[in-house]
A = this chain, B = another copy of it.
């Protein structure tokens, strides 16, 4: 836990991180629509123009937050991959749960990552890379499942995209209010189990 406000001194000490932490608080409270750089600066105990010493503009600060989000997702996949090496279904399920948990606990961060706001004009390289790494780490899980003879022989990339689309879709529907948000970890688990079962089995009769 960083001390956001570190006054008494002219120089803050670690303003970039303090700004990110303050931004996270404000995003959670107000949502992205009312997010203002000036208020971030105020919360960090610093003048309204100080952030420009560390971030090119408002979007650059938001981008830094999104990148952290992608790194988190990548880590989630890797951890579940290593934890259940002989159970691809479990790997997939846990990765999906991590995904959904992020969206439910930090909806504004998820919104930032996935809405396209940040990629509208130009896609920054670091952001792109962070995203790709997260997707790749999901690909490993699918590939592993194929090698263990559990998953279909279709191309890995094809399976990955579909699986990702599925969990991403649910996540976005939660975010957009198209699906009622689970009120407990248990409810979330039930929802995730339903989705993953249908995803594994397919819509067609077997």
Establish whether residues A200 and B204, one from each chain, have CB atoms under 8 Å apart when the complex forms.
Answer: yes
A 158-190 to B, binary, CB cutoff 8 A, 1 in contact else 0: 110111111111111101111100000000000
Q: A158 to B166, alpha carbons, bound, how many Å?
A: 13
Which of A5-13, A14-22, A77-85, A112-120 is the interface stretch? A112-120
Main DSSP-derived SS at the A contact region: helix
Q: Does residue A154 face the partner (Cβ distance < 8 Å to B)?
A: yes
Q: A135 to B31, alpha carbons, bound, how many Å?
A: 26
Binding site for B on A (CB under 8 A): 31-33, 107, 111, 113-117, 119-121, 123, 128, 131, 135, 142, 145, 149-154, 158-159, 161-173, 175-179, 194-195, 197-206
The 20 sampled A-B contact pairs (Cβ below 8 Å) are: A33-B117, A111-B115, A113-B176, A131-B177, A131-B178, A135-B178, A150-B205, A154-B197, A154-B198, A158-B194, A158-B198, A159-B198, A161-B179, A165-B165, A165-B170, A168-B169, A200-B202, A200-B203, A200-B204, A202-B202
